[in-house]
Structure 1
Amino acid sequence: MTLLDVAQEAGVSRSTASRVLSGATSISADARDRVEAAAARLGYRPNRAAQSLRTRRTRLVGLVLNNLVNASFHAIAEVLQQRLDDRGYQVILCVTGADEDREARYLEMLAEHQVDGVVVIGTGRNVALLERIVDEGIPVLSLIRCAPEAPGEAVLADDSDGAYLATEHLLDAGHRRIGYIGGPLEANSGRERFHGYAAALTSAGLQVVDDLVVRGPFLESFGEKALAALLDRDDAPTALYVANHEAAFGVLPELRERGVSVPDDVSLICHEDVSWFRYWQPAITVIDNGATELAELAANRVLAAIERGPGGTQSGRAMRVGARLVQRASVARPRA
């Protein structure tokens, strides 16, 4: 079956049938329904390879991310896929496990398939490869995490402000020994969240105590080890700010395993929300980084970059989505 067969079956022109089946949005609902129904009846499948040769578009977008443990990444993948699908694009999901070599292989694969764009929540250690992809005319968007020299636009959360709000809330509750569990400084989220934590302490006239700061990879196993390092101290903190979302999945079970009562023994704030945090006992106070808003903005920006065409990448431009404190039951005043 050919495109002309579909057009004749639907009673529309060949160009209208082509536009419907290529994902164009400026088509009447009636024409779209007739074309889609005709294509289904005839068993028509578009020749995507031929279309990409004609249009220089593959209608594919790569999404490269470290893991699917992070609840924000889950939300972002879902929203981004839906938004791009609405515009006629398919998403190729690549989960790297935060391994820079695997990330590089996925990026190479996406470039070889001549995707129309790439969204990266990455390791920050493949900047040269990203630059080469941009030079080949494929727009790149960094999301949530971005190396300072990375090409293309970036959509980031306001991590510094979020960390400040978390630490300030604990200070306002009377805590002075606040433990910090966060990501590595090479990641912008790790740097900025630590900066917000330190800035809040400084504003309160306090200094950062190095022994209360534990940094590590974006893994739940790190959360278990970091919690042990802090709570096994003679002068253990009275409050914890868990700024590494993946680490929170190690911290919470370990607190329960140790019989540590929250917030009676230690107050707790986690960065980035997940639906079951509100049902944990007690419900966990969080910094919500606006995952849905981040995904919506990322979809808008990568689609705009694709529409600008080759050479339309706007490097160095970063947009931020604000963070907010969601108060629940995991923070209380320290015991006297």
Structure 2
Amino acid sequence: MNARSSGRPSLADIAAEAGVSTSQASRILSRHPGLRAKPETQERVRAVAERLGYQPHRGARALRMSRVGTIGLVVHDVTNPIHAEIIRGAQGALTEQGHALLLADAEELARNPDTFTEILGPGRMDGLIWHASGESYDAAMITRAAATMPTLLINSTSQVGVPALHLDDTGAARLAVDHLIGLGHRRIGFLGGAPHSDLTRRRYAGYLDALQQHGVPNDDRLVCSDAWDADSGGRQMAELLSLAEPPTAVFVANIIVATGALAAARSRGVSVPTELSMITLHDAWFAALASPAITTVRLPLRELGRQSVTRIQQLASESAAADAPATRTTMINDPAPYLVPRDTTEPPKPRSPRHTR
């Protein structure tokens, strides 16, 4: 074996020597209740561990011995209907197991660091799921959490060494813009969320992909980003409508931003979709009730919640964290994003040369 010549052997060393995966070696050595390995495999792994003098990682052992059956989920704005779907998925998965979900608002925790410290204390949670939105306080708080317990990012790619799980935002954005181009639009605006958000970048990438695939020129004057709220949508829409040549259609990065954008268009006397088509991501319950009903691309938010529970429990059980790679990003693309056509999109109408907003 090419074992380490210095320092204690790792779980990966044991797994390699015994010819099993790191996760299986972890389950065997911790006598995991769901263990299904053959007796001879278990005996081989334990023999290798004894021969090499393997000692389990203290943090992982402590975690296994202190399970409380509660997973934490931190989101930015618990009243957001997008987050509500994620919460329902996570809670449903935990309820099926007889476990509990501890829900917290990120902004409140950022304003009350002592409360965050208390939540991270021993015996409170088995792991933490953090819904990343690109806020300025995200990185520091995620780093604090990851130093204390298994932590998973959702809605993000991996950052500060913490694994992540996200949806196919790029594919969803591409699908939305494909729909607009298919209707005949060529001057298409982009209304984003927080400018430095990983999520805004992924959706903008999908917007650009669609333009490039169809040979539609990209005009930077049609691209805005601000924040993930309705007021932001209003500001961005006002900016685009003030252009000498405004867009004939807009792709809006999410349904909350879209509600503000739709209101801003209406307040300026711009008819949607007659003068301006609009499509957005996330098919929240009120999209069909808006006037006009909003065309959306639906993403599997509830599935994101369910799979985040599965992933954080894997991190907790295998935790070891010391031996397992921690920076992997996983994308959920099953079920795939799909178009929900409604009343805010239609082919563009010819414009008068003197047309102004």
TM-score (norm 1): 0.76
Q: 1:56 aligns with which of 66, 75, 79?
A: 66
Contact 1:180 1:240 (8 Å CA) reproduced: yes
Letter in 2 for 1:299: V
Contact 2:126 2:150 (8 Å CA) reproduced: yes
Q: Provide the rounded CA distance (Å) in 2 between the counterparts of 1:112 and 1:256.
A: 49
SS at match of 1:233: coil
Q: Provide the rounded CA distance (Å) in 1 between the counterparts of 2:110 and 2:285.
A: 32
Structure 1 equivalent of residue 46 of structure 2:
none
Q: Which moved more, 1:185-194 or 1:123-132?
A: 123-132
Q: Please report how far the alpha carbon of residue 103 of structure 1 lies from its aligned counterpart in structure 2 after TM superposition.
A: 8.2
CA RMSD of aligned residues (A): 2.7
Structure 2 equivalent of residue 42 of structure 1:
none
Letter in 1 for 2:117: E
Q: Identity, % of aligned pairs? A: 29
2:116 is the counterpart of 1:102: no
Distance 1:186 1:178, change over 3 A: same
Q: How does 1:1-336 map to 2 (within 5 A)?
A: 55-97=65-107, 101-102=110-111, 107-113=116-122, 114-124=124-134, 125-136=137-148, 138-146=149-157, 148-311=158-321, 314-322=325-333, 323-336=337-350
Q: Provide the rounded CA distance (Å) in 2 between the counterparts of 1:182 and 1:271.
A: 11
Unaligned runs of 5+ in 1: 1-23, 26-51
Unaligned runs of 5+ in 2: 1-32, 35-61, 351-357
Letter in 2 for 1:101: A
Q: Provide the rounded CA distance (Å) in 1 between the counterparts of 2:206 and 2:165.
A: 19
SS at match of 1:315: coil
TM-score (norm 2): 0.72
Q: Provide the rounded CA distance (Å) in 1 between the counterparts of 2:78 and 2:130.
A: 14
Q: Please report how far the alpha carbon of residue 240 of structure 1 lies from its aligned counterpart in structure 2 after TM superposition.
A: 1.0
SS at match of 2:326: coil
Q: Please report how far the alpha carbon of residue 123 of structure 1 lies from its aligned counterpart in structure 2 after TM superposition.
A: 4.1
Q: Provide the rounded CA distance (Å) in 2 between the counterparts of 1:175 and 1:132.
A: 47
Distance 1:132 1:95, change over 3 A: closer
Number of positions where the alignment pairs a residue of Structure 1 with one of Structure 2: 284
Distance 1:280 1:130, change over 3 A: closer
Deviations 1:215-268 (A, max 9, x none): 011121111111111112221111011113331231223333333322111111
Q: Provide the rounded CA distance (Å) in 1 between the counterparts of 2:115 and 2:275.
A: 45
Distance 1:103 1:224, change over 3 A: farther
Contact 1:65 1:95 (8 Å CA) reproduced: yes
